[in-house]
Amino acid sequence: MDKIVIAGSASLQEEISSLIKNLEEKYLVLDYPKTIPEDRFFDLYPSRHKEFFENIKNSDVFLLFNHDKKGVEGYIGAESFAELCFSLALNLVYNKNIKLYIYKLPSKEVNSYNEIDLWLKLGWIRLWNEKKLKK
């Protein structure tokens, strides 16, 4: 069973929970965005962040769940983009073979739109829906 890490906005817990339920039959979910209580944020964030990157390193599949947020279609925040970049760097520099997916095409409003578009054209990342059609 492939190990998957889901990246995206921690504020979308309901949508992420629904996605995880759909994935658990085919994948072992290693990690996903989790909220951190405000009063513990500075205590927990560093170790949580490191653990997330370690789980990416140990995954077979990385899915950037770029759900719509703040009125932006296919929203990708800076941290999610950094996680995607890390995954891509593992593949390019360290010869990992993590399958990289984004859930949907981001709108041109998304700051990383040009990079995402290029990486899709290069075949470095794929659309999740495309993956489902090929199974």
Span 69-111, pLDDT tens digits: 989 999 999 999 999 999 999 999 999 999 999 999 999 999 9
The fold of 2-134 is: Rossmann fold (3.40.50)
pLDDT tens-digit readout, 41-56: 999 999 999 999 999 9
Spatial separation of the C-alpha atoms in residues 66 and 28, rounded to whole Å: 20
This prediction has a pTM of 0.93
Evaluate the CA torsion angle 84, 121, 105, 74 in order and state its sign.
positive
Checking if the pLDDT of 133 tops 60, the result is no
Mean pLDDT value across residues 105-132: 92
Domain spans, the chain: 2-134
